[in-house]
Amino acid sequence: PHLAALVLARGGSKGIPLKNIKLLAGVPLIGWVLRAAIDAGVFHSIWVSTDHDEIEKVAKQFGAQVHRRSPEVSQDSSTSLEAITEFLNHHHEVDIVGNIQATSPCLHPSDLIKVADLIQKEGFDSVFSVVRRHQFRWSEVKKGENKMTEPQNLNPAKRYRRQDWPGELYENGSFYFAKRHLIEKGYLQGGKMAYYEMRAEHSVDIDIDIDWPIAEQRVLSFGYFGKEPLKEVKLLVCSIDGCLTNGRIYVTEDHKEMVSYDYRDIVGIDLLKKRGIQVRLISDRDCSKTLSAMQLGCVAKVNATNKLQVLKDWQEDMGLSWKEVAYLGNEESDVECLKQAGMSGVPADACAAAQKAAGYICKSRGGCGAVREFTEHIFLLLEKVNSARKQ
């Protein structure tokens, strides 16, 4: 049977405008779940249902197909079931829908693989995600009511200790898998049902965790970053024009070139060096005089007609795996390097091709703190590597 992943992502959002493609830890929010769905390898097709051009563009960048949903199912009052039903009406080849919520950025492929087995091999008609919580519930007393609250799941005279109480299962909304015949009857949950319990640290819902910086920290700690495990970065290669500088060249009357840079980026480079990470610079033009004036003390390659070959030479000379190499670029000439490096980033104003190839998109523009920001991103991921080692 044809199993399709379907992410619903309309353009309207009452809380955060275009929330579904807002950058979270350097990746569009929807990109986190699409990456997990693709790497799971269990779906015959992966779709994003949207009514917005920018969301369509991002979805395609991350390898998904796009279903343009109608205005009728794109309203604030529209339900997920209506949008899924419309999708099925246009895609008769689909037998099972895995509806994945775009706002669950800590979803991992391993979860999706296990759920696919439940519905494809064990014969369940619907499977949905839950999380275990240890919360005591009390009845609500509305204003003006002359009554007392009552315990719902505890005896106050004998309160459980957390370690002695298994807790309760709650839907967390990360995904709902259901077979076509069930959806056509108007249900996402029904028939032979099963729940799938997700780990609490992977149960992050941006609809609830609206505090974006907190959500970013959760994703950096517990998110899925790709098939290969992260390794400690030993080398950062940074494109000079458009990353270390803003890409503008000023020419004086006596034909001398001048560029500007942000001192925060120089601090970022110094911090990397203090952590034992080498920083090397690259440019496809001759900017040796500029580099000399900046006195950065970094190995640099100018007039690089083939940046990827330079990167490969450095990687081999230092005896590094690609997972130990980070790359910050901004132009089409950087695309292959961005794809090859284990950790890759671009400034906010990088070209579209570079943004598509990068794993992290900075909030800062080139020459305006992008190197410093990418440095902080590297440090955060290194904390994740060290934490994994301790575990």
Task: Give long-range contacts, CB 8 A cutoff, 24+ apart: 134-137.
Answer: 134/162, 134/165, 134/167, 134/168, 135/167, 135/168
Report helix, strand or coil for 377: helix
Catalytic residues: 159
Please tell me the distance from the alpha carbon of residue 180 to that of residue 4, in angstroms, as a whole number: 11
E strand or H helix at 112:
helix 109-120
Please tell me the distance from the alpha carbon of residue 236 to that of residue 166, in angstroms, as a whole number: 46
SS3 content of the chain, % helix, strand, coil (to 5): 40, 20, 40
- How many residues belong to the chain? 391
- In 10 A of CB 147, how many CB atoms? 8
Distances (CA, A) of 120 to 96, 101, 116, 126: 9, 20, 6, 10
Distances (CA, A) of 383 to 221, 275, 380: 8, 12, 5
Report helix, strand or coil for 94: coil
Residue 85, both tokens: 């039903």
